[in-house]
Structure 1
């Protein structure tokens, strides 16, 4: 094993009070235990989940000092005893749930930033089974965007067929991945957005039609008009209660609403008869397994898809990366380059 003498930089959450609770620190570089590898992080990326955690609104307690972020990419620099999955020099990314390898979701898995330290550090030692290789088509910054948003979008659109209509909401990381993946699957994509400028960006990314939800708050009507009255076969529902009523009205008979998040708020109502008459599947998306990440990476490499990156920040400027994400006025992923 390579000997390391320098310290590892990291950020820790001292208090869940927002950005003010995040502070820089150093720590000894860990050594990999049997079954583990040591990863030199080259990039990490932020998700809306990280803001919720930092502001104290997450569903699980966050111990003082916990390192944030669920997504990282780097290079294996040391290998623990018994590891055959990787060797020194391999480029890797992490699965969101370290122990969920395959099969149905049970909810009984560790979570980065909560149960275990996350990826806003220079070095991490962890189980080799929690990682997969990075394809040659992606650099570290691009690969670091995949574990949460990329896999979520993959799970949300999995099974889409050529000719289906997919509806995406907004321009967050999951939604942009969903546009790219659905187009590569041969689907027609309708995307909602809040501005004409973002509408043009969505069309450049591949969206076939856009709807300005600020000008058209009852946007399900436009979805129906654009689909000859049929509605969308798949909706990537990232808004939650704030958009769910419109999604119910926009879904095609027998379609699927993939319920991903709640960025539009937690308060809302459900029109039961509209749901009942849709004969649609309302599928909760619990992100995905390591196998889902492997499937996503294979698909992305095959179709030469490149994640959309809104902005990059140096490691020491990680607080500015959080500030950028908190503006909510972004197009793509916010990345920290280590």
Structure 2
């Protein structure tokens, strides 16, 4: 990877910056102009802009931090201590002309205290997985292998890596196969099975947890992986005092046609050739206040998005935690399943 991969012109758009952040996977870019280094841009800067309802078409000059931390080549000897005292991920080194000539990244300690997130995780694992037929004719969706292990185990392992150790699997379709698989594993976490006798949807099944969970918990579908700091998501939820926080991913779709805008008089007002549309979509991961379980109607089939909409219409506080497109992997359909497989295999 070249140093130029971490530099971006201040006239670029936020969408372009998000795509570049995904490529470098270091969560920081350095903004340059004719004057050299002028600003720093992190994924946190972009997230704060989005949450303030800033335009997705904004230039990064509206978002970036124009007081970046840096050292000159003569001060480079201070880099290690400077990174530590300033708590930064990366430090640019500039020459006498203010050009970035080197970027020094923080080094992770070899021995780290394992972080802990003291909230239970609920995984909705009872669906038929009809969109993944014919795989699900043989296996339940949670046991479809992605590499050497099934998707449900990937999901749990990702949560364990983020410090979670208490899990609830809500089961229905081929539930005994799922239990048999996980019962054979040597686990360092607590796994509880919750049997759904009739299909209750991604929201209705939570009623089965009445009396089991009363505090804040994380809810996840069983066909997604989120590559983000879960503690950061939880802290955001708590700081905002949300009833529910939905994790949403940026999605970019290029329309393969020329798009025409027509005015009231029938004339063409504008034409855009194969435009790219950007928007946020629900990933299927949420942080949820425990009172939601207590208030869910028993034995009623309903989706969790429907529950969210009910609360929203009541004026309850529903928040959004935005992540990049590359931070979300979905295997809900066959083509997406192959994308997830390829991504996970390339990361190994």
> Quick check: TM above 0.5?
no
Q: Greater CA radius of gyration, 1 or 2?
A: 2
Of structures 1 and 2, the one with the larger relative CO (CA 8 A, separation 6+) is 1
TM-score calculated relative to the size of structure 2: 0.31
